[in-house]
Amino acid sequence: MISSTASQYLPVQLVGADPTPEYLESNHHPDLHQTINTFAATIIYSDSSSVNLPLLSPFHHMDIVASCNGIVCVSNGDAYDISLLNPLTIMSKQLPHLDPPDDVPTAIDVVFGFDSASLDYKVLRIVYQREEDINNYKFVGVIALHLYSLNQDSWREIQVPDVLPTFVNYPCCPVLRSGPVLDGVLYLEGLNEIVTFDLHNELFQVFPFPSFIQTRKSNVFDFQGSVSVLACGGDNEISLWTMESVSGQTLWNKIFTFNHGLEIDWVFLYLGAKQFVGNTEFGPVLYDYGRKVTTYIGLPSQSFLTRFLLHTESLLSPEGFERVQES
């Protein structure tokens, strides 16, 4: 059983920040200045009142993959070191190592979700072969899939389905980014498509973005239980679209349109209570679409944000987790 508090937080990945004292209390993290110039995982309280660093020192160099039911998945750049951790209980588990193929140039994505049917945390490792043609277009094809089960504490290779496309002109990873998990289905965000992975039945589906979503203005996120994106249409209006499946057909529904005064470059997620988390040229913001109020989040203005994730604290300590030894 998962025991959660009512508090929700926003883990953020930062690169190259130079913090000023008014943003941080000294007891949050004494060696922030040394670690934040590589990768630092920052949690922002949902009331935007303070900044904290939840990731313990052994994980400062790692990238946040996703957060699910209080467990955070982190990975290093080549997806060799992957860990699951609970920042609240200071417990973690390092996953068994998998070596990359030696004979082909590869890139690797890591995605993470919770299989509600078998009550199991699962990590999917997607291995791509990279090629370039004479016009310098990059073709990225999936050559291997490895699925980790926390219940089994092991990896196994699963078949690469024909439905997965060759991703064209992808300059770098992530090719597919870990998105929301709804009803046991993990939604993966591509440049031109959403790829779904049923965590229990291990089935993939691919849903290209429709033509009327001309310029995407957000990550793929969960809006009140529906997979959603913000997009700018031909009229330059920014609208919220949700993807629904009805009688086997995929439908996109326009929920509402933002006012023309909205000055947000990119929206990361929907926090709830009518608030979106986005980014502007002046820094990250909370935008209340009901009151049409923008509140700036207290992060260093020169921070380079790579993503926000919604995280709910939990006292969950799965079997195999061990106390983290701070360095």
pLDDT in tens, 177-216: 889 999 999 999 988 899 999 999 999 999 999 888 878 9
Q: In three state form, how does the secondary structure of the chain look?
A: CCCEEEEEEEEEEEECCCCCHHHCCCCCCCCHHHHCCCCEEEEEECCCCCEECCCCHHHCCCEEEEEECCEEEEECCCCCCEEEEECCCCEEEECCCCCCCCCCCEEEEEEEEEECCCCEEEEEEEEEEEEECCCCCEEEEEEEEEEEECCCCEEEEECCCCCCCCEECCCCCCCCEEEEEECCEEEEECCCEEEEEECCCCCEEEEECCCCCCEECECCEEECCEEEEEEECCCCCEEEEEEEEECCEEEEEEEEECCCCCCCCEEEEEEECCEEEEEECCEEEEEECCCCEEEECCCCCCCEEEEECCEEEECCCCCCCEECCCC
pLDDT tens for the chain, 327 residues: list them: 222 333 444 444 433 333 322 222 222 222 323 333 233 344 444 444 444 444 556 666 678 888 898 898 989 878 889 999 888 888 899 999 998 777 777 888 999 999 999 999 999 999 988 776 656 657 678 999 999 999 999 999 999 999 987 776 666 567 888 899 999 999 999 888 999 999 999 999 999 998 888 789 999 999 999 999 999 876 778 899 999 987 778 999 999 888 766 678 899 889 888 889 888 888 788 888 888 888 887 665 555 566 677 777 788 888 889 888 766
- For 45-94, how does the pLDDT look when each residue is reduced to its tens digit (9 = 90+)? 444 444 444 455 666 667 888 889 889 898 987 888 999 988 888 889 99
